[in-house]
Amino acid sequence: MPRVLDSLLARGARTLRIVPRLALVLTMALALRVHWMSFVAPHDDAYITFRYVENLFAGKGLVYNEGERVFGVSTPSISRGWAP
């Protein structure tokens, strides 16, 4: 009986060493996945800013669509900085 108990305790100790490592690996995988999924967002924001600056250069003002006076640029200082 003591051998069986020692075997179970050894397995339990091994499991206790594996659990934190597994949690670390899963957390790192989740963080990497979130990073990959959110990597596209800055590109969209840049194209929005380009559109605002393009309209500003054309003399339509700092607008996304001509005739719609809605503030939607997330980087107004950069947009104004690119203006002549």
Q: What is the pTM of this model?
A: 0.43
Phi/psi region, residue 68 (left: phi>0; alpha: psi -120 to 50; beta: rest), is beta
Tracing tokens 């339509």 back to the chain, one arrives at 60
Range scoring the smallest mean pLDDT among 5-14, 34-43, 55-64: 5-14
- Structure confidence at residue 83 as a pLDDT band (50, 70, 90): low
Q: Alpha carbon of 10 to those of 1, 15, 20, 23, 80: distances in Å?
A: 14, 9, 17, 20, 67
pLDDT tens digit sequence for 30-59: 999 888 777 655 567 778 888 888 888 898
Tokens found for residue 65: 């669509």
CA distances from 56 to 44, 48, 69, 78, 80 (A): 19, 12, 13, 12, 9
pLDDT value at position 22?
A: 85
